[in-house]
Amino acid sequence: MAMDSYARPGASAFEIQKLLRDAIAIAVEGRRLIVGTATLTAVIALLALRMIEPSYTATLIVGPTVADGLLGRGTPLPDLPAGSILDGAAHGAGEKMSYYERFLYEMTSLNVANELASSPEIMRRVFEAMWDAKNESWNPDPGLFPRMRRMLSDLAGRKSWAAPDGRDLARFLRSRVQVQQIGNTPLRRIVYRHADPEFARLLLNRLYATTERQLRSIAVKGNALMIEEYQKMARTTSDLEHKRALWATLIGHEQFSMMMNVDLPLAADLMEAASCDVLPDTPDPAIVMPIAFAAGLVLGLVLVFIRVTTETLPRFATHP
């Protein structure tokens, strides 16, 4: 019994070594098929790369404005008890949203998209497949999946297509514009890829300018209303302490109003304007070709072992 227990591990190791030697022998014997499959896969990948239109990556870097002062102060939401629910979302007490946080959200929001949708040069390039430049009109997307979707909608008796608008642009921006944090800093890298580098830069610059302008407009209007309200309250109150507190608050809003006349960013500093590399970077042949060749090697090995298996099985069937 003891001899058997010591012999089994040695036997299993010998069997594994034999299997490895047999596998290597089979691979060496079928090396032509393996190399041929890898080469064919690499050639197919190369042809696919020549057919795919390369794209350029445009990047724009933004950062928060000064942490202190009028332009950098956060806009508080209404103070709520911790754990309370507003519009279905749980909030803590005294939550604040800075102008910078609002900027990052509003950049791909419907409000910004609606303003950009009024620019024909933006809409016609984003939804280029649906724009008929010859007739200067919008047509349904000729792609396979859009056509299938329209067909199913027609069968269900629903409206199957409409010209692209701000909502479509907002969905496009949320899916194609990426916001990446740079390390552990508050800086954000905004990335967009397109076949035309000029348009990629144009879209990111327009996104930044439109979002900043809308937030500034909202801040100016809200501040003007607050000034009007505080002035009205200061005129009607008779309590001196109350009047003094109102005037102190009013001075702060008036200072904010004066700062809005200065041509400085309110929500996000433009650290680097949109830029692209001279050469396209997607898809990258230096990455695609090695992966395709390695996949071809694996596929070739699988084909060799399948061939050996199919040749071996009939022998076992005829010679039990």
Q: What is the pLDDT of residues 161-180, one digit of tens each?
A: 888 999 999 999 999 999 99
- pLDDT of res. 96: 65
pLDDT confidence band for 49 (50 / 70 / 90): confident
pLDDT band at 68 (very low <50, low <70, confident <90, very high): very low
pLDDT at residue 164, rounded to an integer: 92
* CA–centroid distance for 10 within its chain: 55
Q: Say what the pLDDT of residue 198 is.
A: 94
- What pLDDT shows up at residue 165? 93
Confidence of residue 46 (pLDDT cuts 50, 70, 90): confident
Which of 118, 148, 124, 125 is closest to 137 using CA atoms? 124
Query: Distance between CA atoms of 115 and 215, rounded to whole angstroms?
Result: 13
Q: Which two tokens stand for residue 274?
A: 């949109």
Whether the pLDDT of residue 211 is over 90: the answer is: yes
Tell me what the pLDDT averaged over the chain comes to. 80
Strand ranges for 162-259 from DSSP E: 178-181, 188-194
Mean pLDDT of 153-165: 85
Tell which wins on pLDDT, 87 or 278. Answer: 278
pLDDT per position as a tens digit, 260-280: 777 778 888 999 999 988 888
The whole-angstrom separation of Cα 22 and Cα 28 is 10
- Residue 91 structure tokens: 């909030």
Cα separation, 51 vs 296, in Å, equals 20
- Nearest-angstrom CA–CA distance, 186 and 34: 50
Instruction: Please give the average per-residue pLDDT across 220-227, as a whole number.
Output: 84
pLDDT of 204 higher than 90: yes
DSSP per position, 252-274:
HHHHHHHHTTS---SSEEEEEEE
